[in-house]
Amino acid sequence: MRLMSTVARLGIIGMLGLLLAVLMDPANWGTGSSGELTTLEFATAVLDDWAFTVVILGALLTMAMAGAAYLVRDEREINLMWELHGGEEE
């Protein structure tokens, strides 16, 4: 089991290295025909062309934040009693 874990970690590191090498190679990034993208063109593309993607991404992020908030709740009895009684000692 330990060997599989080590091989998986090495595989992930190798894939990240390959991805980094491909992304950092300037030959993979063309200059484009229209030149630089202005702020207005970017905003139009995000709000018009990618509207569905932005909505789905927002929903996923909302679910992730709700899940994180649920996971950090401390539900031990002493803390629940403190919330109910305002920290009053009985």
**pLDDT (tens digit, 9 = 90+) per residue, 20-75?**
999 888 887 766 566 677 888 888 888 888 889 889 999 999 999 999 988 887 77
- Give Rg (Cα) of the chain: 24
Q: What pLDDT sits at residue 6?
A: 94
Instruction: Determine if the pTM surpasses 0.75.
Output: no
With cut-offs at 50, 70 and 90, classify the pLDDT of residue 3: very high
Q: For residue 78, which of 65, 67, 88, 66 has the smallest C-alpha distance? A: 88
Residue 82 has pLDDT above 60, yes or no: yes
